[in-house]
Amino acid sequence: MGTNMEDLAGLVGNLSIAAAPLHRGQEPRRSTGSHPVSLQDAVRTLIQSTNTITSQSQSIRSLTDDAKSSGNLSITEVCLLSEGIKKLTDIASHLRATVDELHEATERSVIRRLRSLGNPCETVSRILKHFDRQIRNIVRNVLNHTSDRDVLWKVAEECYKQATNRSGILDADDYFIALEGASLGWPYDSDFESEEYYEHENRLDVDEGYATAFQLQVEHRSESRRKERQRWTDFWVRVVNNSPAGPTLFYPPASFHAQHLRFEAVPKYLFRTFDDASSGISDQSVIASIASISGSQRNSRTDILTLESRTATELLYAHLDKSCFGGEASDNLMSWTSSLLFAIQYAVWRLTIRRCSTSDIKICVVDTRDFPQGQFAQDIWLLQAYEATAKRLSNQIRGIQWMFDSRLERGDYYNGEYLSQGAVNITSRSCIVSLEQLIQAGLFQLYPEFDDPEGRRQWTKRVIQLRQNWSAEQVTTDREIELAVRIARNCFTRFEANDIALVLLTFKNRRCKAQKRTSNVDHVNERLPGWADKPDEVRRYWIATEAINSSHHMTLLDLLFLL
């Protein structure tokens, strides 16, 4: 944990827990040595004592069962037991109060550390006070379900998620609506129907200068509120990015040179193919960039969007133009794709190039809804943001403009690339499967094209070829459905099997047999988000899932179609 028991002791103040039971009014024992008894030691002693009491209570339960079955307690015994029960109840109440104080101490300590990471302004401090109970609940829940080293960043992530979600329990509107409700009389309360109110309303109608000045006040007030809301989000971004072992989010600062750009929602699933020769670290717990493991920890926690434009452009170019088997020590980016088709063909190609075992090549799958906003950014978004700078550098850095232009203009080579920064913690929110597992589950039976000897030697060009070959509309056999579901169940156990099966089946352009049920597809196409426009298989998956979700009758088995 980022905090220690001395922090907690300072917060608890006079709270002390001794091994021996205290009588009412008795002062707790203090250490007489040079070092006071730590809160941690006191809690450990109390646990040891209560373990003995718990053991004794088992014997009492046995005797109680006998008494209940026989019912032969005398009135004297009943009265004596009643007095004992009262004392035990009192002790239990004191113990419960102590536990509650310990909870508050730990929660306050974590919150204090979070505040120091985010350095809140006065407005944010007031909002923090408003949401004190909700934040403490988040802290308590994380403490109950996580390890020491992960506490701060997990709390920070959850708070950030709840603060940026319109239905989140930390949505700033909950604070500002209440605040604005308290000042409904601005500038004059209509309910009060005062003279000033009627005069104000009349002047708005007849005095153009007054009306203009008042409108400027309204706009200024609205802008002020918008900035105050933004400070709440900015605070949690700082907390997340400063949390030890936490993520580094993409988050455009107010001064960002492409303010018109906004992050779109990312695809539901992102995939990353890797092996021992891949850059950075990729394993069951983390996907980490080269910079995050090369000793430049400070740089790895710096959002690329906060860097000077030239530096950011050079770093982006260096990553996107690097070899598939290495990279520079300054590279803080890691690549993902929204296309499982692309990830599989990349895996087959790496297998052929490296001549390693199929068990050595792995694919990581994440559900992006489990991660905070800004964990992943589309390469196109970043390329557009730094395109002008790349043009200015074209005479100094060979190939930079060609790379930017080719990625932004050649749609046939677009494979839904997304980037992450620093370290991405994927424990308990990812699924890693080897190429060997996919093959054993039936991948080459579902798509023999992946096992083509000539096709194995190519990567991006092979993906283009497969998309072209699979663009013709076709029906789906029961055998294909069976294989897709089997692969999903055997290899992607963390995710809904039917959903992953649909991802696999949408590599091809399929139409369901029940044509009359697909009339809503045109309407679904109208809502197509930018990230789902390409690659083709990602668009098909999105259209299929939207059509299924909008129907009360269709299922995966009768709606395996793509138009």
417-421: strand order across its sheet: 377-378, 417-421, 333-337, 269-274, 362-367, 430-434
Q: Give the pLDDT band of residue 46 (cuts 50, 70, 90).
A: confident
78 has pLDDT over 60: yes
Q: What is the pLDDT of residue 28?
A: 45
Spatial neighbors of 388 by CB under 8 A, at least 6 apart, are none
Q: Give the pLDDT band of residue 26 (cuts 50, 70, 90).
A: very low
Report pLDDT digits (tens) over 290-334.
Answer: 999 876 556 778 999 999 999 999 999 999 999 888 888 899 999
Nearest to 161 by CA among 300, 368, 364: 368
- The residue with tokens 């029960």 is 85
Whether the Cβ atoms of residue 142 and residue 154 lie closer than 8 Å to each other: yes
Rounded to an integer, the average pLDDT of 230-252 is 92
Q: In this prediction, what percent of the chain has a pLDDT beyond 90?
A: 53
CA angle 311, 231, 139 (to 5 degrees): 100
Rounded to an integer, the average pLDDT of 519-531 is 68
Q: In this prediction, what percent of the chain has a pLDDT beyond 70?
A: 82
Identity of the highest mean pLDDT range in 80-94, 342-356, 405-419, 524-538: 342-356
Query: In Å, how far from its chain's centre is CA 296?
Result: 24
Which regions of the chain carry the CATH code 3.90.210? 269-451
Q: How far is CA 153 from CA 353, 356, 501, in A?
A: 38, 37, 33
191 has pLDDT over 70: no
515 has pLDDT over 70: no
Spatial neighbors of 86 by CB under 8 A, at least 6 apart, are none
Give residue 302's region: left, alpha or beta (phi > 0; psi -120 to 50).
beta
558 has pLDDT over 50: yes
Identity of the highest mean pLDDT range in 262-276, 337-351, 370-384, 540-554: 337-351
Nearest to 154 by CA among 432, 370, 418, 365: 370
516 has pLDDT over 50: no
Q: What is the DSSP string of 424-490?
A: EE-TTSEEEEEHHHHHHHTHHHH-GGGG-TTGGG-SHHHHHHHHHHT-S-B---HHHHHHHHHHHHH
Rounded to an integer, the average pLDDT of 96-112 is 91
- The residue with tokens 């006191």 is 42
Q: What is the pLDDT of residue 265?
A: 76
Instruction: Please tell me which residue, 265 or 379, carries the higher pLDDT value.
Output: 379
Spatial neighbors of 230 by CB under 8 A, at least 6 apart, are 254
127 has pLDDT over 90: yes
* Spatial separation of the C-alpha atoms in residues 308 and 243, rounded to whole Å: 23
180 has pLDDT over 90: no
Question: In whole angstroms, how large is the CA radius of gyration of the chain?
Answer: 31
Within 10 angstroms of residue 40's Cβ, the number of other Cβ atoms is 13
Rounded to an integer, the average pLDDT of 63-87 is 81
Nearest to 430 by CA among 504, 371, 498: 371
Whether the Cβ atoms of residue 376 and residue 419 lie closer than 8 Å to each other: yes
Nearest to 273 by CA among 460, 435, 84, 451: 435
Length of the chain: 563
Spatial neighbors of 188 by CB under 8 A, at least 6 apart, are 194, 196, 197, 200
* Spatial separation of the C-alpha atoms in residues 287 and 12, rounded to whole Å: 38
Q: What is the pLDDT of residue 17?
A: 32
Q: What is the pLDDT of residue 33?
A: 46
Q: Give the pLDDT band of residue 366 (cuts 50, 70, 90).
A: very high
* Spatial separation of the C-alpha atoms in residues 535 and 412, rounded to whole Å: 9
Nearest to 558 by CA among 496, 539, 547, 268: 547
Whether the Cβ atoms of residue 335 and residue 419 lie closer than 8 Å to each other: yes
Rounded to an integer, the average pLDDT of 432-461 is 97
Could you tell me what percentage of the chain is helix, strand and coil, using 3-state DSSP and rounding each to the nearest 5? Answer: 60, 5, 35
Whether the Cβ atoms of residue 135 and residue 159 lie closer than 8 Å to each other: yes
Rounded to an integer, the average pLDDT of 192-215 is 72
CATH for the 269-451 domain, from 3.90.210, 1.10.260, 3.30.70, 2.40.50: 3.90.210
* Token pair of 509 as six digits: 């352009």
Lowest mean pLDDT among 23-37, 194-208, 266-280, 468-482: 23-37
As a whole number, the mean pLDDT across the chain is 84
- The residue with tokens 């190519």 is 458
556 has pLDDT over 70: no
Helices (H), ranges, 122-194: 122-130, 132-145, 151-164, 173-181
Lowest mean pLDDT among 13-22, 278-287, 363-372, 403-412: 13-22
Q: How far is CA 67 from CA 55, 56, 58, in A?
A: 19, 17, 14
Q: What is the pLDDT of residue 21?
A: 39
Query: For residue 342, which amino acid is it?
Result: F
Report DSSP state, residue 283: S
